[in-house]
Amino acid sequence: MLMIDTALKPVNRQVDYPTCNDELNRLLSAAVVSKSFRNMLLANPEIAVASGYQGETFNLSPEDQSWLYSIRPANLVDLAANMVAYQQESKVKLPVERVPQMVRVN
């Protein structure tokens, strides 16, 4: 039988955290649930962002706006794939002092 010791051993490592992409994620969510917003976002992202969705505004950073306005995705799948790639490129490294590590005991 395998038993796990619950003791935690401190480990120093770097953990990847994406930059704040909450607004881009909100934008994509709105595009998923609303065909009219999706069509506007794909055809004219500047107007879609400026118009918002159901009274909600999107507070995109200048970098996110520049990225969004520079791509011209053909469909929602293309937009999502581009967004994943953009978010992966935007990752930053933050130090983590303690990461729990499970130790296997025989």
| pLDDT one-digit tens code per residue, 58-91 | 999 999 999 999 999 999 999 999 999 998 887 6
What domain range includes position 98?
3-105
* Number of domains comprising the chain: 1
What string of DSSP letters covers the chain?
Answer: --EEE-------EEEEE----HHHHHHHHHHHH-HHHHHHHHH-HHHHHHH-BTTB-----HHHHHHHHH---SSHHHHHHHHHHHHHHT-EEEEES-----EEE-
| pLDDT one-digit tens code per residue, 6-33 | 554 454 554 444 445 789 999 999 999 9
